[in-house]
Structure 1
Amino acid sequence: MSDSPDYPTLLRNAYAMRAASYAHMFDVLRERFGTETALEVGQESTRRLGEAMGVKFAGHGPDDLSGLCHAFLDGIPNRDSMFAPEIKRCDGEALEIHFHRCPLKEAWQAQGRSDADLELLCKMAGAIDGGLFEAAGFVFKGETWKPGDAGCCRLKVLPGAGASE
């Protein structure tokens, strides 16, 4: 029997490292430039990452929300235990997914981050979704976690420009 960790553990550890990286970068930016600029720079960085990732979903744009839903969710490794996505709506007018868990948020909580920091870090990391869905040709109207919310992000994707009406 191998002593190496199993795949879900390795994946969770990778997300924890990504969360720590985001948090450290945010802290350094906040210390040097203030909270507003730290958030702005962090969001731009994660948005660009999302734009690079969104290209692979462009074949579904601007209005194949069902195809997008399946391609997006099927591309998330270990998605049910890591994110617990609930499809709230998936039709020709909107795709709405509520993530009940998030390994980034859970890692920040394990680091002892305050709710105020969690909200900022979620806003920063959540910009990846806007970049991804907009690069694929859709309109993104999602919301990130804030104190008092159950679960985590709520993704809302609408048909993009040029969609048949």
Structure 2
Amino acid sequence: MSEETTTPEITLEQLSGAYAMRAKFYMFMFDVLVENFGNDKAVELMSDATYRLGEEMGEKLQAHGPANIEGLTEQFLQGIPCRDHLFGPELRKCDHEGMEIKFHKCPLKDNWVAAGRKGEALELLCKAAGAIDAGMFSKAGFTFEGETWKIGDTGCCRLVVKPGSEAEAV
């Protein structure tokens, strides 16, 4: 028996493959929802599901809520696998008032574009999938005001997180 050697290239390839599979699932699920319920309901249903996934992910960030923006930002950025290669985050702001991160890449969006999605169809997919961020940061106790990619934008989404409402009461 030989031991399998893991190199950063293999890990990146495997991770990229996992994101490609996730992107295809989102895309096909969205298509089925649109065919059965139309665009608005499809975005609503898919957003509900991705928001719930985000809530589960947000549990690990709760120790920073509702106001430790610096701690939240550090843990969030450190938790992004292959972040520079796959996401290209640009930290634009991080202080007691909030944080802003612009993602210049997204493996989900990149796969949707490669599959031929563009325009409104791409914008709606991004909106539905982007609810994951709202769920994650809200569950952690913060106020989320981010934006997903829209026609004419460069890169991908922009995360904007501010202290949660409970921070004002403290």
The answer to whether the superposition gives a TM-score over 0.5 is yes
RMSD: 1.5
* Residue in structure 2 matching 1:22, options 26, 41, 56: 26
The match for 1:126 is 130
Q: CA deviation at 1:85?
A: 0.3
The alignment's TM-score, normalised by the length of structure 1, stands at 0.96
How many angstroms apart in 2 are the aligned matches of 1:129 and 1:84? 16
Please give the per-residue CA displacement for 1:80-132, whole angstroms capped at 9, x wherever unaligned. Answer: 11000000000000100000000000000010112211100000110000000
* Residue in structure 2 matching 1:157, options 145, 148, 161: 161
Percent identity over the alignment? 54
Matches within 5 A, 1:111-150: 111-150=115-154
The alignment's TM-score, normalised by the length of structure 2, stands at 0.93
Deviating beyond 6 angstroms after TM superposition, the runs of 4 or more aligned structure 1 residues are none
How many angstroms apart in 1 are the aligned matches of 2:25 and 2:154? 25
Matches within 5 A, 1:10-159: 10-159=14-163
How many angstroms apart in 2 are the aligned matches of 1:66 and 1:114? 35
Q: CA deviation at 1:161?
A: 1.7
How many angstroms apart in 1 are the aligned matches of 2:120 and 2:11? 32
How many angstroms apart in 2 are the aligned matches of 1:149 and 1:23? 20
How many angstroms apart in 2 are the aligned matches of 1:14 and 1:117? 22
Q: CA deviation at 1:14?
A: 0.5
How many angstroms apart in 1 are the aligned matches of 2:104 and 2:47? 22
- Structure 1: 5+ residue stretches without partners: none
Please give the per-residue CA displacement for 1:41-92, whole angstroms capped at 9, x wherever unaligned. Answer: 0000000000011010000000000100010010011001100000000000
Aligned pair count? 164
The more displaced of 126-135 and 110-119 is 110-119
* Secondary structure class of the residue paired with 1:163: helix
- Structure 2: 5+ residue stretches without partners: none
The more displaced of 40-49 and 113-122 is 113-122
